[in-house]
């Protein structure tokens, strides 16, 4: 194999995206102050519970509804994300070259169903979902779990995430880690490691 044996991608903010304007419109319709849905849904302790599997996505939405009301919470939870087709095209090309392409997401108990709904479940060799593993990024243990499961040398993993903190943790365990902002960042990283 070459320099890189595994391309490891974050899901939200890399492979799939939620439109912030949709959330803003829900807040406006519901009479909520700007940013209230994000602040409520991603309150650190609540987020930790849902992404480490101690709370289901359904229960998460119920807890959000306790603060913002059921109409806003239901509308927020029903948003349809879009898949970054440029990222997917690159990932498919890398995979076709023989490099494993995997996901590492701080997800909920519905991630596998959501990937199926988006039609991309078969595009990844392994899906590492924090809600199933009981530990979430940036905890170093989740990165070590990936390495053990894939039985791959740490320096042979190329990881991209839109969170600089998660990238720092991946680098701390020895992965080649890069911050993702646009599909161009993935293309550039792939060129750097001769995956193009």
Residue 106, judged by CB atoms within 10 A of its CB (0-12, 13-18, 19+), counts as buried
Residue 1, pLDDT score = 46
> How many of the other CB atoms lie within 10 Å of CB of 19?
12
What does the block give as tokens for 100?
Answer: 């494993």
Q: Where are the beta strands (DSSP E) in the chain?
A: 6-9, 16-17, 82-83, 100-105, 126-129, 157-161, 176-179
* Contacts (Cβ under 8 Å, ≥6 apart) of 45: none
Report yes or no: 187 and 91 within 8 Å, Cβ to Cβ.
Answer: no
Report yes or no: 7 and 100 within 8 Å, Cβ to Cβ.
Answer: yes
Residue 109, pLDDT score = 98
- Three-state secondary structure call for residue 149: helix
Alpha-carbon distance values, 153 to 4, 24, 85, 137, 172 (Å): 9, 43, 29, 20, 14
Structural domains in the chain plus CATH codes? 6-17+82-192 (3.40.50.1000), 20-77 (no CATH)
Q: What is the pTM of this model?
A: 0.96
Segment 68-124, tens digit of pLDDT: 999 999 999 999 999 999 999 999 999 999 999 999 999 999 999 999 999 999 999
Burial 36-51 (b: 16+ CB within 10 A, else e): bbeebbeeeebeebbb
* 5/66 Cα distance (integer angstroms): 45
The low-confidence residues of the chain, meaning pLDDT below 50, are 1
142-52-122 Cα angle (round to 5): 70
Q: Which is nearest to 195 in space by CA: 103, 91, 85, 120?
A: 91
* 169/65 Cα distance (integer angstroms): 33
Residue 2, pLDDT score = 61
């Amino acid at each position: 194999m070459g320099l890189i044996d595994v391309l490891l991608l974050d899901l939200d903010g890399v492979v799939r995206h939620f439109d912030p304007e949709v959330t803003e419109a829900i807040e406006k319709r519901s009479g909520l102050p700007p940013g209230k849905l994000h602040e409520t849904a991603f309150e650190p302790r609540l987020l930790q519970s849902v992404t480490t599997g101690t709370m289901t996505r359904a229960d998460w939405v119920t807890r959000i509804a306790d603060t913002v009301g059921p109409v806003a919470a239901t509308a927020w939870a029903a948003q349809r994300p879009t898949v970054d087709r440029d990222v997917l095209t690159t990932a498919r090309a890398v995979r076709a070259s023989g490099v494993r392409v995997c996901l590492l997401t701080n997800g909920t108990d519905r991630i596998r169903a959501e990937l199926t709904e988006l039609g991309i479940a078969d595009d990844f060799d392994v899906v590492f979902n924090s809600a199933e593993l009981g530990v979430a990024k940036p905890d170093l243990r989740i990165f070590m779990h990936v390495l053990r499961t894939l039985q791959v040398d740490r320096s042979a993993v190329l990881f991209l995430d839109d969170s600089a903190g998660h990238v720092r943790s991946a680098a701390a365990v020895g992965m080649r880690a890069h911050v993702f902002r646009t599909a161009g960042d993935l293309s550039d990283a792939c060129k750097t490691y001769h995956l193009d």
